[in-house]
Amino acid sequence: MRWLKTLKFYLKSLGPGFIIASVVLGPGSIAVSSRVGSEHGYAFLWVILFAAISMVIYSSMGARFGVSNSDSILRSIATNYGKWFAAVIGISAFLAASSFQFGNNLGVGIAMEGITGIDERVWPFVFTPLAILLLFWAKNLYKLLEKLMMFLVMIMIVAFFINLLLTKPDVGQIAEGFVPRSFSFKSLDIIAALVGTTFVLHAALYQSYLAQSKGWKESDLKKGLNDSYTGITLLALISLLIIITSASALHPYGITVNSAADMALQLESLFGSYAKVIFSIGLCAAAFSSLMVNAVMGGGLLADGLGLGSTMSEKMPKIFTTVTLLLGMFIAVFFRGNIVYALILAQASSILAVPFIAFGMFLILNNKKVMGKHKNNLLQNVLAVFGFVLISIMVYFMYSKIIGYVQSL
C-alpha cells in the first residue's frame, strides 16, 4: 500500500521541526495570541501567515545546511566571513533566547500558581534546577527532547481545535482576517510580538544543528525539509487556533486578556469550571518545553559563535545554557508588573538583534563553495529577502518605541 509507505516515511521525517515548534510555542506565544484575539478579533491573522512563510524559508535553509555540511553553520560563517561575524550572530541568538527565557519563567510561574495556588515567584526556583539536571544528566538529550516535545505539541493542537469547534467562529470574518489592512502605530508592539511568536530566527538557525544531531545526510534532505514544513505549519496552526478561539470566545464580550485567568476563559466552552486548571497545565507544558530547549539553543549558539563548541556533549555549550537558564530565572523572580504585558514585551523585544542572524544565514546559504547544489535558488532568495525586510521593519519600529519610551522618562 503506497499511501502507508508514504505516511511511514513522513512520520519518520519528524523530529527537529517539533523541537523548533515547541521552543517557539511558549507562554509568550499563547499570551500574545490570546491578547490579540480578545482585543483585535480576527484582524491580525495575516501577520501569522506572513511570519510563518518567512519562518518556513529560514528553517528550510537551516535544514539544508545541516544535511549538506559536517561543520556547524556558525563555524562555516566564521571561516568564510570572519570570527567576529560568527560571534555577533552567537551573541544575537543568546540575547533573543534570553528575552524568550524571561517569558518562559513567567509562564511557568503563573501556570503553576493556577494549578496549586502557590506564589508564581517560587516556581522558577523549581523548574530551572530541573532543567539543569536534565541538561547535565540526560544521556541522550536530543531523543528525550524530541519525544517529549512531539507529545506536548500534539496535545495542545487537539485541545485548542476541539475548543475552536465549540465556540463556532464566523468563517467569513476569519477569511477577512487574512487580508492585510491598515493599523495604528500603537499596534506595532502587538504586531512585532506576533512576528516574534512565529518568525524566530535563532530557532531557524538551530535547525541546522538539530538536523546534524539527528544524523541526517544529503540523502535525507527530503526528510529534513518535510520536517521543517510540518513543524512550522503546526506552530502557525496553534497560533491561529488560539487567536480565532480568543476572538470568538472573548472579543464579542469586550474581554481583554490581562491575566492567566483571562486566557483560560477561552477554554470554558470545552472544560467549564475546570478551564483554568486545564489551561494552566497546558501553559506549564508550553513554558517548560520552551524553557528547556530555548536555553539549549541560546547557550549552544553563543558557545559556537565564540568558537567554544557546538554540541551539548561539550562543556562550554552546557555552561552557557546554564547561564541562560539562570538569567531568565532571576529576571522573572524579581519582576514586578502586568505579567501578560511583560510576556508580550518579551516576545516583541526578542526580535531586536535577529537581523544579524538572517543576514548571516542568507550569506552562507548563497555561498556555492559551502552549499554546492543546495545553495538558495531565485525564489528562495526572494522569500528570504521578504523575511529579512519584515523583521528589519519590526526592529526599526521597536527601536523607535524604545527610544521614545526612554526619552519620556
Tens digits of pLDDT across the chain (409 residues): 554 454 444 445 455 666 676 667 777 778 888 888 888 889 899 999 999 999 999 999 998 999 889 899 999 999 999 999 999 999 988 988 887 788 788 888 888 887 788 888 888 888 888 888 877 776 566 566 656 666 766 666 777 777 777 777 888 889 999 988 766 666 777 788 788 778 888 888 998 998 888 777 877 778 778 877 888 888 888 889 889 988 888 888 777 776 666 777 777 766 777 777 777 777 777 777 777 788 888 999 999 999 998 787 788 988 999 999 998 888 777 766 666 666 666 666 666 677 899 999 999 999 999 999 889 999 999 999 999 988 888 877 777 766 665 566 5
Grid look-up 533573543 returns: 96
Q: Is 83 exposed, middle or buried (0-12, 13-18, 19+ CB in 10 A)?
A: middle
11, 73, 86, 151, 199 from 8: Cα distances, Å: 5, 30, 38, 18, 29
The verdict on residue 162 lying in a domain is: yes
Q: Which of 26, 67, 5 is nearest to 328 (CA)?
A: 26
Does residue 4 lie within any of the structural domains? no
Element (H, E) at 168: none
In a domain, 3, yes or no: no
pLDDT given at position 376: 94
Q: Is 289 inside a domain boundary?
A: yes
Please check whether residue 24 lies inside any domain of the structure. Answer: yes
Dist. CA 328–CA 3, nearest whole Å: 46
Q: What angle do CA 182, 187, 191 make, to 5 degrees?
A: 90
Say if residues 206 and 301 touch (Cβ distance below 8 Å). yes
* Predicted pLDDT at 275: 76
Is the Cβ–Cβ distance between 64 and 223 less than 8 Å? no
Residue 240 lies in a domain: yes
Looking at residue 305, its pLDDT comes to 94
Q: What is the pLDDT of residue 82?
A: 94
Residue 380 belongs to domain spanning: 14-173+184-408
Contacts of 144 (CB under 8 A, 6+ apart): 134, 138
> pTM of the prediction?
0.84
Torsion of CA 52, 58, 61, 65, to 10 degrees: -130
Segment holding 51, helix H or strand E: helix 45-68
- As for how many domains the chain has, the answer is 1
Q: Is residue 6 part of a domain?
A: no
Q: How far is 392 from 395, CA to CA, in rounded Å?
A: 5
SS3 347: helix
Output the domain CATH number for residue 241.
1.20.1740.10
Range list of H helices, 121-257:
124-137, 141-167, 171-177, 188-198, 201-213, 221-249
The grid coordinates listed for 364 are: 552562507
Number of helices followed by number of strands (H, E) in the chain: 20, 0
What backbone phi and psi angles, to 5 degrees, belong to 311?
A: -120, 155
Q: Residue 167 corresponds to which cell in the numbers above?
A: 465556540
Q: Which three cell numbers stand for residue 396?
A: 526599526
Q: At what angle do helices 201-213 and 16-24 cross, to 10 degrees?
A: 150
43 and 187 in contact (C-beta within 8 Å)? Answer: no
Residue 352 DSSP class: T
Exposed e or buried b for every residue in 367-383, given b needs 16+ CB within 10 A? beebbeebbbeeebeeb
Helix (H, G, I), strand (E, B) or coil at 350: coil
Q: CA angle, corner 327, sides to 324 and 332, nearest 5?
A: 125
**Residue bearing cell 487537539:** 158
Would you say residue 8 lies in a domain?
A: no
pLDDT at 14: 53
